[in-house]
Amino acid sequence: MKVYKFGGASVKDAEGVKNVALVLETQGFEKCLVVVSAMGKTTNALEKVVEYYFKKQDYQAEIELIKKNHIDIAKGLFSEGHAVFGEITLFFDDIDSFLRRNKSPNYNFVYDQVVSCGEMISSKILSEYLNDIQFFNHWLDARDYIKTDASYREGIVNWQETEQNISKLDKINCYVTQGFIGSESNNFTVTLGREGSDYTAAIFAYCLNADEMTIWKDVPGVMTGDPRKFENVELLSFISYEEAIEMAYYGASVIHPKTLQPLKQKNIPFFVKSFVEPKKPGTKVGNSEENELIESYILKENQTLLNVETRDFSFIAEDHMSLIFALLAKYKIKVSLMQNSAISLALCLEDKFGTANDFNEELQQSFITQMTKNVSLFTVRNAELDQLDQFYKDKKVLLEQISKKTFQMVTL
C-alpha cells in the first residue's frame, strides 16, 4: 500500500478538494490510505472555541462561523440535498452538545474533544467527494485504530494495540482517514500534538508495511530554508532519515519531528511533494549515502530563553540538572537548545502549553532565573564555518553555539 497525507492548505476550499482528487489521479488511486488534516485554518478557529468556552464568552457564535465555512465548501462540491450536509451539521451539533454537557475543568481534555472535529469533518467531505467521482474508498475513524495513553494534546501511541488494529485492514482497498487524532482506553479523543497529521500518516505506513509514504505540501519539497523567510533557497532532492530527523528537531516546519522514526525502522521511503505540481519529483527521504549536505536554514520563532544560576554561585551539578529536567517534564516544556557553564544554565524553550511562567516560578524556589520571551532560534545545518559573519548582521544575539557543522543562535 501507499500512504498519502494532505495538509490543511490543500483542502482549504472546494477547488483544493478537487485538486486533491487530481493529485490522486496522477498517482493512481488504488491500494492507498489518505490522511487529511482539518480544512484551512479550522484548527485555529476551533482553538478559539475552546478559549471562549473557558472564558465563558459566546463560543456558539464561533461554532456557527466554522460550520458555515464548511457548508460553503461543500456547496462547491455536492448537489443540493446531498447526505454530506447532514453529516456536517451533525459534527457541529456534537461539538455544541459536548460543551453544554461537559463538567471537566481539564483544558487539555476539552481541547482534544473539540479541536479534533476539524479532521473528522474534512475527512468525511473528502471521502464523500472521492466516492462521488468514482474514486471508491472507505472512510475510517482513526480513533478506532490509533490507541494512546491519556496524555491529552500530546498522546503517546500504544504501538502494540495500534498495530493490531491497523493490520486488520484489507490492503486491496482505499481508505480516507483523519490526521492528528487517536483515542485512549475510555475511547475519549486524544490528539497527537499540533501539526501531528504527518505522524498519523507514519503510524499507518508503519503498521501497514507500506511501500512508501508521501506528504503533499504547498512547496516543491524539503528546501534549504522556508521560502517565506529566506531568499535563494533550493530544493533538496535526497536527504537521509537522520538528516531529516535533525532538521525536524531544530524546527523545519515541513516535517513533523515524530514522523521519521517509524519510517526509518522499516525503511519505508518517504517523499515530500507539491500538490500544485504533483508530477515533479520533490524530495525523497531514505537510507542512502547520497545525502545532500547543503547549507540549510531553519528559524524557530516564539521561543523562550531562560538563564538559571545557583543561589550560592556553586556549580550547576548533576542534582541541579536532575531537578530542572524533572520540572521541564512536569510542565511539558521542550528544550530546543541548552548551554551550560560552571555556574549557569541557558535553556531555549518551546512553550507549547503556556506553562513557562509556572515552570519559572517553581524554579525560582531553588535558583536565580532570568526569562526572555519571544526570542527566535536560528539554526544553520551543514554550515560553512568560515563564513559565519554573514549571519550576525542586524541581529541581537543572546546565545550562540557551534557543534560539528551546525551553527545556532538565539536572537531577539
Q: Which residues are annotated as a binding site for ATP?
A: 5-8, 228
* Bind-site residues: 5-8, 43, 119, 228
Give the Cα separation of 259 and 35 in Å (integer). 13
Give the Cα separation of 87 and 93 in Å (integer). 10
In 133-214, which ranges are continuous DSSP H helix? 159-166, 197-208
C-alpha cell at position 68: 458555515
Q: If you ran DSSP here, which 8-state letter would residue 155 be given?
A: P
The DSSP element (H or E) to which 410 belongs, if any, is strand 406-411
* Bind-site residues for substrate: 43, 119
Give the Cα separation of 157 and 196 in Å (integer). 12
* Integer angstrom CA distances of residue 143 from 117, 181, 184, 192: 12, 6, 8, 11
Which strands, in side-by-side order, build the sheet including 406-411? 334-340, 344-350, 296-310, 367-381, 406-411, 397-403
Q: Are 231 and 155 in contact (CB under 8 A)?
A: no
The residues with which 299 forms a beta bridge, in sequence order, are 378
Residue 372 CB coordination number (10 Å): 15
Return all residues near 123 (Cβ < 8 A) that are at least 6 apart: 36, 139, 176, 177, 178
- C-alpha gyration radius of the chain: 23
Give the Cα separation of 301 and 42 in Å (integer). 22
Q: CA 99 from chain center: how many Å?
A: 25
First to last CA, the chain: 46
Give the Cα separation of 63 and 66 in Å (integer). 5
Between 117-132 and 42-54, two packed helices, what is the crossing angle to 10 degrees? 150
